[in-house]
Chains A and B, each alone.
Chain A
Amino acid sequence: DTEVTQTPKHLVMGMTNKKSLKCEQHMGHRAMYWYKQKAKKPPELMFVYSYEKLSINESVPSRFSPECPNSSLLNLHLHALQPEDSALYLCASSQPDRFNQPQHFGDGTRLSIL
């Protein structure tokens, strides 16, 4: 069992749909992350929130819109996605210490774009 919970586990959507991915943690972590992972590749960082403020955006297309409503929740809003956006989307959390706080990952949402 993971301490970072992601919902839904699977999502199939059309290119014109709007959907949201959700992530929740109750470890008191104040940094939360979104990653994208394609098959047989390492996770690629998309966004980082630190103390509920967006601190890193890795030049992600605007069809991905992150939101951090409070210190325990992280959302990723999806709109007008492309087939190449099909991937495993991972959420992680850590303390925003500068040097040595390991990240705790959820098990991801597997997203398929039709």
Chain B
Amino acid sequence: LAKTTQPISMDSYEGQEVNITCSHNNIATNDYITWYQQFPSQGPRFIIQGYKTKVTNEVASLFIPADRKSSTLSLPRVSLSDTAVYYCLVGALRDNYGQNFVFGPGTRLSVLP
């Protein structure tokens, strides 16, 4: 079971690029890395997922080095509405094998004007 660590909080200004790193030293071979965004009083929302190298979608990029022991979520040109908690999740559902995916502790991103 991959244990993950993330910075507790980060501050940024509007228009800047924000990079949030998640460490997962004992990631398993079959584990994917998924990032979620959560606003107060809402459920987490999927942002991006990857296995290795780089993945990009319309809202973010995900960088995963060759050893896969960490991953970095990159948010380009953040706005005030990006203020939220960001969680990395490592692992996947494997029936009857117990808990094999775990949320990181979350990074509280505050975007300032």
Contacts and interface: CB of A to CB of B under 8 A. Distances in A.
Interface of A: 2, 4, 31, 41-43, 45, 48, 50, 55-56, 58, 88, 90, 92, 94, 96-108, 110
A48 B44 CA distance: 17
Contacts, number: 68
B92 A108 contact: no
Given A42-B106, A55-B96, A103-B46, 12 more contacts: A2-B43, A43-B87, A50-B95, A56-B96, A56-B99, A90-B43, A94-B93, A100-B32, A105-B36, A107-B43, A108-B41, A108-B43
Nearest to B101: A45
Interface string B21-49: 00000000010101010000111111001
A45 B95 contact: no
A42 B103 contact: yes
* Residue in B30, B92, B101 with the greatest tally of chain A CB atoms within 10 Å: B92
B54 to A, nearest CB: 16
Contacts of A58: 98-99
A102 B101 CA distance: 12
Contacts of B45: 105
Contacts of A41: 105-106
B interface bracket (residues with beta carbon within 8 Å of A): 20 to 34
For the complex of A and B, the 8 pairs showing the least CB-CB separation, nearest first, are A105-B43, A42-B103, A102-B46, A55-B95, A100-B32, A99-B92, A107-B43, A107-B42
A104 B43 CA distance: 9
A56 B32 CA distance: 19
A48 B93 contact: yes
A98 B99 contact: no
A43 B44 contact: yes
A45 B30 contact: no
Nearest to B33: A100
Given A31-B93, A102-B34, A42 B104 contact: yes
